[in-house]
Amino acid sequence: MKFTALHSGLKMPLIGLGSDKLLGHDVVYNALDAAFKSGYRLIDTAACYRNEKDIGDCLLELLPKHGLSREDIFLESKLDPKDHGLEEAYTACLESLAKLQTDYLDLYLIHWPAKAKIKSDDPRHAGYRKESWMALEKLYKEGKVKHIGVSNYTLKHLEEMASYASIQPAVLQVEYHPLLVQRDLLQWCKANNVLLQTYRSLGKGKLLSEPVVVAIAERIGKMPAQVLLQWAIQQDLGVIPRSGSPTHIEQNIASLDLEPLAEADLDALTNLHRGERLCRDPTDIV
């Protein structure tokens, strides 16, 4: 397992299992069972994934099965956009803790820079972001979360945080893949000692048939998904590929064992960038 040190000094696995759309006890159980067997130690979830309770139940069963304790895994969840606000965010985290049946989270993120059901140009969003961050800082100080961070924030949202945050985010989680190389966010993270954790690393499957990706994979004898994950990991970016397939779960973490991609291959993948978002765009949120 490859780790990165967060600004707290604690270590976080660079690869984890994404759980978006993994619903139902049996689906979650099989995915987590395969993940732990393959060596995963980071599980990413979110309140809006509606699977925290199933993950909590399955962890109680699977940690002993694999000879693991709660301290052996890195568990992260996220604030539902509907729960932005000082009291709402604090309460929402406590609810996530209860569903996951744990005393603490290793990482808790603000999932989206806007409150649900409010138009993106509504000036109240800035206030909600600040209140939610204050709630996360309180949770951090109380030991209920070991690290706090944000997801889907743009550069303007991050720079705005500097005016009120007394605790720096440990992680920024955003959509990031060869079709969407967000260099401004990567530079900000490096300058501020923040881990950039990426989602949609495989481009919702779109990149798996991209000729450049396929050609590199065939030449080095690996799967296209492994090439894409290695592209990120080699840049010290976190990845959380989601899969319910034991075979794909095992193949994805095997990307850690790949020989480093040649600089020419890294550049070829990076040059696929065309600003193509495959998920919601937070750019217009004030």
Specify binding-site residues for substrate. Answer: 111
- State the burial class of residue 166 (Cβ atoms within 10 Å of its Cβ: 0-12, 13-18, 19+): exposed
Q: For residue 49, indicate whether it is catalytic.
A: yes
Contact 256, 238 (CB under 8 A): no
Q: Please give the helix or strand (H or E) that residue 60 lies within, else none.
A: helix 52-65
Q: Provide the CA 194 distance to its chain's centre, in angstroms.
A: 13
Assigned token pair, 248? 């794909």
Alpha-carbon distance values, 283 to 43, 124, 126 (Å): 27, 16, 14
Q: Provide the CA 123 distance to its chain's centre, in angstroms.
A: 27
Q: How far, in Å, CA of 68 to CA of 66, rounded? A: 5
| Ramachandran category for residue 193: left, alpha or beta (phi over 0 → left; psi -120 to 50 → alpha) | left
Out of 29, 40, 49, 108, which one is annotated catalytic? 49
DSSP string of 246-267? HHHHHHHHGGGGSPPPPHHHHH
Q: Is 21 helix (H, G, I), strand (E, B) or coil?
A: coil
Binding residues: 111
Q: How far, in Å, CA of 229 to CA of 240, rounded? A: 9
DSSP string of 41-56? -EEE--GGGT-HHHHH
Catalytic residue set = 49
